[in-house]
Amino acid sequence: MAYYVDPDIAATGRVFPMQGRAAYRRFDMNENPSGLPEAFVSKVLKEITPEFLATYPEPDRFLNAYAAFLGVPRECVTACNGSDMAIRYVFETFGEHGKDVVTVSPTFEMYWVECCILGLNHVPVPYDNDLTISVEKILSAITKDTRIVVLTNPNNPVGNVYEEADVRRIIEKADSVNAVVMIDEAYHYFYERSLIDTALSYDNVLVLRTFSKLFSLAALRLGTVIGDPKLIHFVNNGKLTFDVNSVALLFAERVIEEPGLLEALIESEKEGKRYFVETLRTSGYEVSESSANFVFVRTKGDALTVARRLQEEEKILVHPYQNPLLRPFIRVSTGSKADMAAFLDAFFKIERSEEA
C-alpha cells in the first residue's frame, strides 16, 4: 500500500449500526419508536417543492426561531448535521492531538470513536460497581493535559444525572487548566432540568442538543450547539458550509412552533415509561431509575440470549451489553404506552420460555 492514510483513522475500529431496522420494532437506539403524528408529517411534506429541493440550505431562519424558543441570544447557537457531527466539530476545534478528553465510562460510544479518529487521548472515568459515578474521580481526571471534558446529562447508557453544584465544580476545575466542557443534553425533555443557563454563565462551556430523540427526527440529522458566542464562532469556523439540509431545518422549525406538539410527545413518552416500569416492577423485575427515554432491565434469562431471541423471534430490537458491568441488563428505549405494551407481550413470552 503506497498511499498515505491518516494513522489515527487507519487504527480506528468501527462498528456501524445494523441495516434493515425498519422491519423491526426499534427499542435499541433511543429513537421515538412510533415517531411524529402522521398528519403533522404530511402537512410539512407539502411544503417541499422542486424549487425548495433545488436551493442550497439557509439555516438562519431556523436558528432565529430556535434561539427564541430556547430564550438565548442568536449568536449563542449553531446547528450541525446531528449532534454526532457537533461532537466531531467540538473535538476538532478544541481538542489537541495527543492531549486528553475526559468522559465517564460507559457513555455514548461516539465519544471514544471520535477520540480515536482525531488522535485525542481518551481518559475514561469508570462507574463504580453499583452504577454510580464519583464526581471526585472526574475532578481528579482533569489535569493540565485536559483539553475537553464531556458530561452527558442524563448519561447514556446509565441514565444518571449530575447536580448543578457538581457540574460547576467540574467546569471550574476545567477552566483552571484552560479546558472546554461539553454538556450533552441529548435526553433533555425526558429530564427537564437543563444546564443551558449554567453553561452560558461561563465562557468555556458548550451544550449539545439533538432533534433525534424527543423531537423524533433522527433520519434528518439535526443537532445544535449552545454556548458563549466566541466558542460558537470557533465551531462555525470549522464547519462545512452546507452542513444541515433544508428538509431538516424545515421540519425542526415546524416541530418547535406546532402548538401542543412537544407537550403531547412528552406526555406520551412519560405515560409509556411509567406503565413500562410499573409493570416490570410488579412482575418482580429490577429496573433502573433513568432520567431519559430508556431504562435498564435486569433480565431473568441471560441478557444476550433474551436480546437475540427478541430480535429473531419477535422482530424487536433492544441494546444488550458485553461490558461486564452492564452484562446482566438490556437497555430498552421507551415510547408510548401502546409501544411499551407491545414490547412487554413479546418480552414476557421470551422470559417465560427461558425460565422453563
Ligand X SMILES: Cc1ncc(COP(=O)(O)O)c(C=O)c1O
Residue ranges in contact with ligand X by CB under 6 A = 30, 82-84, 108, 152, 156, 184, 186, 210, 212, 218, 223
For the chain, report the end-to-end CA distance as a whole number of angstroms.
Answer: 55
Helix (H) or strand (E) holding 182: strand 180-184
> Is 334 or 351 the residue whose CB approaches ligand X more closely?
334
Helix (H) or strand (E) holding 252: helix 246-257
In the complex, minimum distance from the CB of residue 111 to ligand X, in angstroms, rounded to a whole number: 8
In the complex, minimum distance from the CB of residue 86 to ligand X, in angstroms, rounded to a whole number: 7
Distance CA 120, CA 233 (A): 22
Summary count for the chain: helices (H), strands (E): 14, 12
> Is 223 or 335 the residue whose CB approaches ligand X more closely?
223
In the complex, minimum distance from the CB of residue 247 to ligand X, in angstroms, rounded to a whole number: 15
> Is 75 or 84 the residue whose CB approaches ligand X more closely?
84
Q: What's the grid cell of residue 198?
A: 449554567
Nearest to 150 by CA among 95, 218, 223, 77: 95
> Cβ neighbours of residue 180 under 8 Å, at least 6 residues apart?
90, 94, 147, 148, 149, 174, 204, 205, 206, 231
In the complex, minimum distance from the CB of residue 159 to ligand X, in angstroms, rounded to a whole number: 11
Q: What's the grid cell of residue 262?
A: 412537544
In the complex, minimum distance from the CB of residue 248 to ligand X, in angstroms, rounded to a whole number: 11
In the complex, minimum distance from the CB of residue 290 to ligand X, in angstroms, rounded to a whole number: 12
Contact 285, 298 (CB under 8 A): yes
> Is 146 or 152 the residue whose CB approaches ligand X more closely?
152
- Per-residue b or e along 82-121, where b marks 16 or more CB atoms closer than 10 Å to that residue's CB: bbbbbbbbbbebbbbeebbbbbbbbbbebbbbbbebbbbb
> Is 30 or 78 the residue whose CB approaches ligand X more closely?
30
In the complex, minimum distance from the CB of residue 26 to ligand X, in angstroms, rounded to a whole number: 12
> Is 90 or 350 the residue whose CB approaches ligand X more closely?
90
In the complex, minimum distance from the CB of residue 84 to ligand X, in angstroms, rounded to a whole number: 3
Helix (H) or strand (E) holding 149: strand 146-152
Distance CA 146, CA 163 (A): 22
Residue 56: left (phi > 0), alpha (psi -120 to 50), or beta? beta
> Is 84 or 145 the residue whose CB approaches ligand X more closely?
84
> Is 222 or 250 the residue whose CB approaches ligand X more closely?
222
